[in-house]
Amino acid sequence: MKQQYNKNPEAVAALSPEQYHVTQRNGTERPFTGEYWDNHEPGIYVDVVSGEPLFASVDKFESGSGWPSFTRPIQGDNVVQKRDFKLLLPRTEVRSAHGDSHLGHVFKDGPREQGGLRYCINSAALRFVHLDDLESQGYAEYKRLFGKEQA
């Protein structure tokens, strides 16, 4: 049975002030301050509000921006892109599809050999699920991302 994800009111009520500001008020955490900007552990990143799988550590790279950066989402249909005109130059906002959480922005300055995109994501919008915990937390299907020996 396929997992159904949606905006969880209990999860929203339990958010820290920073998480609420980022996910519900379209905020941005300060660079180099988020919990995951320098995380190098294997696993996946899920929406802190809905739990929907968003990004995998195998697609994470060091961008020097101070935020976790990924070349692509795990599943394209779990991430929605919207035009953002808050600054002088238009940007593309990234939101979780089912939780409607603001995640960050996507830019076209990522590694060319991996598609050229940089998903610049706020740590406050994410919850990290370590590879060792994928099965126990209901994300066993994503073990395949880490090679045959992990499946």
Which of the residues are catalytic? 120
Between the alpha carbon of residue 46 and those of residues 21, 98, 150, the distances in Å are 18, 12, 19
Distance between alpha carbon 85 and the CA centroid of its chain, in Å? 21
How many whole angstroms separate alpha carbon 41 and alpha carbon 98? Answer: 26
DSSP codes joined into one string, 114-131: GTS-EEEE-GGGEEEEEG
Of residues 46, 49, 86, the one with CA closest to residue 70: 46
| Rounded Cα gap, residues 114 and 5, in angstroms | 28
